[in-house]
């Protein structure tokens, strides 16, 4: 069995945790202000933005806990440690985005059928405050959201809420100067559709990882064909490829050899296999079971 380890992100995790903590406190303050403002002004869009902001708080807390858990060491009872904590957090956060969106659509339809006059000045000021607070949080998480699914889920919550606040601000201005009261419901509906659109892709990605699906970027047949062309290798079969977390992709396979080679000979070939797979496909954990004339299924994918 061979493994290649090529990652060290402890400093990045510390920075992620600090930025998440700052964003949590910012969003608690924004949520409280929007709830009070929404009740006083009668704005559904502001209350819906507050609900989304509250979901941000929950998602950020989940992301923060996952960020802490992933640092815990592996043990006999948890041989992988908590390496999937951040993927699970991303799945939960993506799910909440969609659930919140559906609730907003229901409320928007109800309010559209019965529009209410709204205190637009309060809506304008509070939405502006939310834009500034969420905008700062978005900047804090943007860089790490590019290569970490957990941070991306938190980032998307904050980004969509910032955009929702922009929509609420525009709605407040239209209500103030043109008395277009129904715009509040229309903007709420638009915010909800955007949440579903953003959340679904992340939900799909995190589900694939949790279900041990082969990453879309890994061409299994191509890898098998390349390995089959190696000298002394007769057949590569019983292949499994999965993504453990953001940093680790695992490849395991049975390899049937042309002749009964020694263990030292196998180590030489194994080193070549590891180098080839890592350099060409960025797979950093490789587990090979050597075989010679073993009577078993020789299909690439074996139904266990």
**How long is the chain?**
304
Task: State the average pLDDT for the chain.
Answer: 86
Task: Point out the domain boundary residue: 191, 210, 229.
Answer: 210
pLDDT at 116: 62
Pick from 4-8, 85-89, 216-220: least confident: 4-8
Q: Are residues 37 and 126 in the same domain?
A: yes
Residue listed under structure tokens 């949790």: 210
Q: Are residues 49 and 166 in the same domain?
A: yes
Q: Are residues 85 and 159 in the same domain?
A: yes
Rounded CA-CA distance 58/64 in Å is 10
pLDDT band at 3 (very low <50, low <70, confident <90, very high): very low
Task: Point out the domain boundary residue: 177, 192, 210.
Answer: 210
Task: Point out the domain boundary residue: 185, 210, 235.
Answer: 210
Q: Extract the tokens encoding 188.
A: 């709420």
**Domain assignment of residue 262, given as a range:** 220-291
| 165-168 CB contacts, 8 Å cutoff, 24+ apart | 165/49, 165/127, 165/128, 165/130, 165/131, 165/134, 166/127, 166/131, 167/45, 167/191, 168/43, 168/45, 168/46, 168/49, 168/123, 168/127, 168/130
Q: Are residues 194 and 115 in the same domain?
A: yes
How many distinct structural domains can be found in the chain? 2
Interval 183-198: pLDDT, tens = 777 877 887 888 788 7
Q: Are residues 142 and 230 in the same domain?
A: no
Q: Mean pLDDT, to the nearest integer, of 240-249?
A: 92
pLDDT at 278: 96
3 state SS of 18:
helix
**Contact by Cβ (8 Å): 150, 17:** no
Question: Nearest to residue 290, comparing CAs of 221, 234, 211?
Answer: 234
Rounded CA-CA distance 264/276 in Å is 19
Q: Are residues 73 and 112 in the same domain?
A: yes
pLDDT at 117: 63
Pick from 64-78, 175-189, 270-284: least confident: 175-189
Q: Are residues 49 and 105 in the same domain?
A: yes
User: Is residue 22, in this structure, part of any structural domain at all?
Assistant: yes
Interval 38-47: pLDDT, tens = 888 777 767 7
CATH number at residue 97: 1.20.1510.10
68/46: higher pLDDT? 68
pTM of the model: 0.80
Q: Mean pLDDT, to the nearest integer, of 253-267?
A: 95
């Amino acid at each position: 069995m061979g493994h290649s380890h090529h990652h060290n992100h402890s400093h990045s995790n510390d920075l992620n945790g600090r930025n998440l903590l700052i964003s949590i406190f910012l969003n608690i303050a924004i949520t409280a202000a929007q709830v009070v403002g929404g009740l006083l002004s009668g704005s559904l869009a502001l209350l819906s933005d507050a609900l989304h902001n509250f979901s941000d708080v929950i998602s950020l807390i989940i992301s923060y806990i996952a960020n802490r858990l992933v640092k815990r060491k592996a043990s006999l009872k948890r041989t992988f440690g908590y390496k999937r904590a951040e993927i699970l957090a991303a799945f939960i956060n993506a799910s909440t985005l969609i659930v919140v969106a559906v609730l907003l659509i229901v409320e928007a339809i109800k309010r559209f059928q019965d529009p209410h006059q709204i205190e637009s000045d309060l809506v304008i000021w509070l939405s502006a405050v939310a834009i500034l607070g969420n905008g700062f949080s978005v900047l804090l998480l943007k860089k790490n959201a590019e290569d970490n699914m957990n941070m991306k889920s938190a980032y998307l919550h904050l980004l969509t809420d910032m955009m929702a606040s922009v929509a609420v601000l525009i709605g407040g201005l239209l209500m103030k100067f043109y008395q277009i009261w129904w715009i509040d419901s229309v903007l709420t509906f638009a915010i909800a559709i955007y949440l579903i659109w953003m959340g679904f892709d992340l939900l799909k990605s995190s589900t694939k990882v949790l279900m041990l699906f082969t990453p879309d970027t890994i061409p299994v047949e191509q890898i098998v064909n390349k390995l089959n062309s190696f000298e002394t290798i007769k057949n590569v079969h019983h292949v499994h490829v999965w993504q453990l977390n953001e940093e680790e992709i695992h490849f395991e396979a049975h390899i049937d050899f042309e002749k009964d080679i020694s263990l030292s000979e196998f180590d030489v070939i194994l080193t070549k296999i590891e180098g080839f797979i890592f350099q060409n496909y960025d797979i950093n954990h490789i587990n090979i079971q050597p075989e010679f004339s073993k009577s078993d299924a020789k299909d690439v994918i074996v139904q266990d």
